[in-house]
A and B are shown apart, each in its own frame.
Chain A
Amino acid sequence: MNPFKPVKFSPRQAFRVWQREVSVYKHVYRSTIISNLMDPLVYLLALGFGLGAYVTRIQGISYIQFIAPGLIASSIMTAASFETTINTFVRINFDKVYEAMMATPVTVEDIVVGELLWATTRSTIYATVMLVVVAALGLTQSWFAILVPFMGVLGGLMFAVIGLTYTSFLKSIYHVNYFFTLFVTPLFLFSGVFYPLDPLPQIVKDIAFFSPLYHLVRVIRPLILGNVGTPVLFDLAWIIAFIAIFTVVPINLLRSKLVK
């Protein structure tokens, strides 16, 4: 099977799948949004004010200002990753949501596209709420910051593609942990969220080039701090290229997994 095979889907039916997720989210967002955003907010306040008391200046700005954009980026990664791994696995294997959908005029392609859109939506919601919090703390320095939700869309889609690809190989719910311990957490720590990578050995910087989060951080940080220059276009292009090349992969993989 060629995972890069072009896919056909119905935008209207994919939208119906997305709508189902919205209907479910309306029942749960009150109880989940706080707990989901707690994580990046605790990092922001604990490290920003705690570690920030010692690390007074970093690249000419305060430590909390340095990490705030990075934590917006990582909240985009976390939201899309949870949605497309644990939540999708449960929908496939326990709740049989996709099985029910496949008995209607919805195809597997429509389902996967709808799920990608939903994970993207959720990332965008979190990026927006995080942006509001960061702005309320007076940490935004530029009107470019209003473009951050747009990066929630691109970053969310990028991580949704990665998460769904992993889930298409997943046999047991317990293996979800590997995605977080071997992929999400290392990215979180080595993608320039908490410190600039400049002083690190060249090898680390070379590896960082392949980190999707690294590029997302490098777009969001200038948007928040206002120093938008041409390097941003390079990182943006990296993200768009990733999406353009890999989006069909989880669609093809899940089709061969779900259609029997």
Chain B
Amino acid sequence: MTDPSNSVEFAIEAKGLRKIFDQTEAVRGIDFAVSRGECFGFLGPNGAGKTTTMRMIGCVSPVTAGSFHVFGLDPRIHLRKIKNRIGIVPQESNLDEALPVEENLTVYARFFNVPSALARQRAEELLEFMELTEKKNSKITDLSGGMKRRLLISRALMSDPELLILDEPTTGLDPQARHHVWDKLFELKKRGVTQIVTTHYMDEAQQLCDRIVIMDRGLIMEQGNPIDLVEKLIGREVLEMRLPESLNERIPKDDPLIRGFDTYRDLLLLYSDKADALLNKIKAIGIETDYAIVRRSTLEDVFLKLTGRRLTE
């Protein structure tokens, strides 16, 4: 008999997913579904509930309420079965510092009951893939941040998982190391590995993710394809101006060229599909300012629009 979970369309399906710790509700009822082979991103400020959601997806943290299935299976019943098919890359390194690099991989594979000959072969291949072969006998404490991150990803791949969960995979890495990690994640995606990523970096989300959700205070604010979200919520361009309140008030916000706007202190953001024309129009009514630029809209605009510009911590 074939495993019924193989025929399930979604790698993950969550409806009304909640997580309550003691008094605080970290995740307050969210719905999402991740298709097989998709790269799905969770964005949000610190404390939005991303990591908690990741921990529930990884079946490390029990779900408080809601319907939740991974590969069509309920983690309350099929915990080991699900975990056997998932690879987790944590935000902070929890590599085994008591073991050298290569053994970090082979010992980890034993938890998935990977036969030892196969584990050694995979360790060799993954160290090669992540360009860590020279370090195979090194101590963990001798690795750079980027190397540790690559080793954490290698470790998560030792069980040949169908689903890879990456919590802030490139936080703290220099640009070279970030691009290196991205390259490897692209290759994994081509091989059909479903990926779930959390990130603070909008460029990372735009690069890697087919679809994203933006979370804030335990809820999903918006979800969709990154480019579509920018198009839908912001428009093509942004006109950024710094100007005093008196001038701000004189700008007609109901102009057909303006799709939306936000004001933060003296900064005015006007969302538009034709920002140059808008700028000329504003100049024409006699409003002059030192700082006025037209730029392409980005996912960062969407993010800030939805989650606000306040500091969360």
With a cutoff of 8 Å between Cβ atoms, the chain A residues found around residue B100 in the complex are 27
Report the bound CA distance from A100 to B100 in whole Å.
16
Determine if A175 is an interface residue (Cβ-Cβ < 8 Å). no
User: What's the dominant secondary structure at chain B's contact region?
Assistant: loop
Contacts A103-B88, A259-B62, A260-B21 given; does A20 touch B110 at CB 8 Å: yes
- Taking a contact as CB atoms under 8 Å apart, the answer to whether B61 and A16 are in contact is no
* Given known A97-B94, A259-B61, contact A16–B99 (CB-CB < 8 A): no
Query: Which of A10, A20, A27, A103 has the largest number of chain B CB atoms within 10 A?
Result: A103
Q: Interface residue tally of chain A, by bracket?
A: 20 to 34
Q: How far is the CA of A12 from the CA of B111 in the complex (A)?
A: 9
The reply to whether A23 and B60 contact each other, CB–CB distance below 8 Å, is no
Question: Would you call B90 and A260 a contact (CB within 8 A)?
Answer: no
Which of B62, B84, B99, B107 touches A105 (beta carbons < 8 Å)? B84
Tell me, yes or no, whether A39 is within 8 Å of chain B by CB: no
Number of B residues near A (Cβ < 8 Å) is 28
* Chain B: minimal CB distance from A18 (Å): 10
Contact of A10 among B58, B80, B96, B97 (CB under 8 A): B80
For A73-108 the 0/1 string (1 means CB < 8 A from B) is 000000000000000000000011101111111110
Contacts A27-B98, A95-B97; A103 near B110 (Cβ below 8 A)? no
Q: Which residue of A lies closest to B84 (CB)?
A: A105
A26 → B minimal CB distance (Å)? 9
How near does chain B come to A25, taking the closest CB pair, in angstroms? 9
Q: Is A211 an interface residue (CB 8 A)?
A: no
Residues in A with CB closer than 8 Å to B112 are 104-105
Within 8 A of A (CB), among B4-24: 21
Contact, CB under 8 Å: A99 / B90: yes
| Contact across chains for A27 and B58 when beta carbons are under 8 A apart | no
A residues in contact with B79, CB < 8 Å: 105, 107
Contact among B86, B97, B113 with A16 in the assembled complex (CB-CB below 8 Å): B113
Q: Are B111 and A105 in contact (CB under 8 A)?
A: yes
Task: Enumerate chain B residues within 8 angstroms of A101, measured Cβ to Cβ.
Answer: 111
**B201: interface (CB < 8 Å):** no
- A56 contact set on B, CB distance < 8 A: none
Is A24 a contact of B98 with CB atoms below 8 Å?
yes
Is B259 an interface residue when CB atoms closer than 8 A count as contact? no
CB distance from B126 to the nearest CB of A (A): 16
A88 to chain B, nearest CB (A): 13
- Chain B min CB distance to A257 (Å): 14
Asked if B182 lies at the interface with its beta carbon under 8 angstroms from chain A, I say no
Inter-chain contact A19/B108, CB cutoff 8 Å: no
A62 interface residue per 8 A CB criterion: no
> Chain A residue with minimal CB distance to B159?
A104
A100 is contacted by which of B62, B86, B96 (Cβ under 8 Å)?
B96
Whole-angstrom CA separation of A189 from B92 in the bound complex: 44
Flag whether A13 is at the interface (Cβ < 8 A): yes
- Enumerate chain B residues within 8 angstroms of A105, measured Cβ to Cβ: 79-80, 83-84, 111-113
Complex CA–CA separation, A96 to B140 (angstroms): 14
| A residues 1-40 touching B (CB-CB < 8 Å) | 10, 12-13, 16-17, 19-20, 23-24, 27-28
Further contacts, 8 of them, CB under 8 A, given A12-B113, A105-B111: A16-B111, A17-B111, A20-B110, A99-B90, A100-B90, A100-B94, A104-B83, A260-B21
12 contacts between A and B (CB under 8 A): A10-B80, A13-B80, A19-B107, A20-B110, A20-B111, A23-B107, A24-B98, A27-B100, A95-B98, A100-B96, A101-B111, A102-B60
Closest 8 CB pairs of A and B: A96-B94, A104-B111, A103-B88, A105-B80, A24-B98, A100-B94, A105-B83, A105-B84
